[in-house]
Structure 1
Amino acid sequence: MKFAPMNYHYLRYPIKKFLDKVERSPFNSIDLYCSAPQLNLFDYPLSRLIELKKEIEAHHLSVMAMTPENCVYPVNFCTQDDLTRESSIRYYQRAIDTAQFLDCPCVQISTGFGYFDQPREEGWKYCRESLWTLAQYCEKKDVRLLLEELKVTTTNVLITSKDIAKMLEEIDSPAIVGMVDMDQMTYAKETIDDYFDNLGDKLQHIHFNDRGHTVPGDGDFPMKEYYDSIKNRGYDGTVSFEICDRRYYRDPDKAIDDIVAWMKANTNEFD
Structure 2
Amino acid sequence: MEISISTGLYYKKEYKEILDIIAKTTCKNIELFLNQAFIDVDINELKIEVSKRNLNILSIHMPLEFIAFSRKESENYWINKSIEIAKVFGAKVIVSHMVMGEYFDYTEEGLEELHKQNMIHFKNNDDVYVTTENLPYLVNGSFLGRIDELFEFVNENNINITFDTTHCAFSGYSIIKTFKKFRNVIKNIHLSDFANGIEHKVLGDGDLPLQEFISALKNENYEGFITLEFDFDNKKRNNITDNEQAIDALQKSINFVIETLNNTK
Using the size of structure 2 for normalisation, the TM-score is 0.78
Closer/same/farther in 2, CA of residues 31 and 54 from structure 1, 3 Å limit = same
Amino acid at match of 1:186: A
Does the 8 A contact of 1:6 with 1:242 survive in 2?
yes
SS of 2:206 mapped into structure 1: coil
- How far the C-alpha of 1:193 sits from its partner, in A, is 4.2
The answer (yes or no) to whether the contact 2:214–2:257 under 8 Å persists in 1 is no
2:193 is paired with a residue whose SS is: coil
- The whole-number CA distance in structure 1 between the counterparts of 2:151 and 2:29 is 28
Residue in structure 2 matching 1:145, options 130, 133, 148: 130
Specify which of 35, 43, 46 is matched with residue 49 of structure 1. Answer: 43
Does the CA-based 8 Å contact 2:133-2:164 persist in structure 1? yes
**Alpha-carbon spacing, 1:230–1:191, altered in 2? closer, same or farther (3 Å):** farther
Residues 129 and 57 of structure 1: is their aligned pair in 2 closer, same or farther, counting only changes over 3 Å? same
Find the counterpart in structure 1 of residue 220 from structure 2.
233
Equivalent-residue separation in structure 1 for 2:185 and 2:3 (angstroms): 18
Q: How far, CA to CA, are the matches of 1:128 and 1:260 in structure 2?
A: 34
Task: Specify the SS of the correspondent of 1:268.
Answer: helix
Paired residue secondary structure (1:56): helix
- Post-superposition Cα deviations, 1:203-222, rounded to whole Å, max 9, x if no partner, equal 12111100110110112222
Pair 1:159 & 2:145 matched = yes
Instruction: Find the residue that maps to 1:13 and give its secondary structure.
Output: coil
- Select between 244-253 and 198-207 the one with higher mean Cα deviation: 244-253
Is contact 1:114–1:156 with CA below 8 Å preserved after alignment? no
Query: What residue number does 2:8 align with?
Result: 8
Residues 1:106 and 2:108 aligned together? no
1:242 corresponding residue in structure 2: 229
CA distance in 2, matches of 1:197, 1:29: 25
Alpha-carbon distance between aligned partners in 2 of 1:226 and 1:193, rounded to the nearest angstrom: 6
Q: What SS is found at the alignment partner of 1:221?
A: coil
1:19-168 correspondence runs (5 A): 19-37=19-37, 39-40=38-39, 43-44=40-41, 48-72=42-66, 74-75=68-69, 87-110=74-97, 112-113=99-100, 124-133=112-121, 135=122, 139=125, 142-153=127-138, 155-168=141-154
Displacement of 1:74 after TM fit?
4.8
Match of 1:79 in 2: none
Residues 107 and 143, structure 1, Cα contact 8 Å, conserved in 2: yes
Aligned length: 247
Structure 1 residues 126, 16: closer, same or farther in 2, change over 3 A? Answer: closer
> What does 1:248-259 align with in structure 2 at a 5 Å threshold?
248=240, 250-251=242-243, 252-259=246-253
> For 1:114-145, what per-residue CA distance to the aligned partner results, in whole angstroms no more than 9, with x for missing partners?
79xxx997665333223234x07x726x1211
Q: CA 1:24 to 1:166, structure 2 compared with 1: closer, same or farther past 3 Å?
A: same
CA-CA distance at 1:33 after TM superposition: 1.2
Q: TM-score, normalised by structure 1?
A: 0.77
Q: 1:218 aligns with which of 189, 195, 205?
A: 205
User: How far off its partner does 1:197 sit?
Assistant: 4.0
Segments of structure 2 that go 5 or more residues without pairing to the other structure are: none
Q: CA deviation at 1:99?
A: 2.0
Shift in Å at residue 171 of structure 1?
A: 3.8
* Structure 1 residues 265 and 196: CA distance shift in structure 2, 3 A: closer
What one-letter code is carried by the residue in structure 1 that aligns with 2:251? Answer: D
Check whether the contact 1:181–1:207 (CA below 8 A) recurs between aligned residues.
Answer: yes
Q: Look up the SS of the partner of 1:195 in the other structure.
A: helix
The amino acid across from 1:168 in the alignment is V
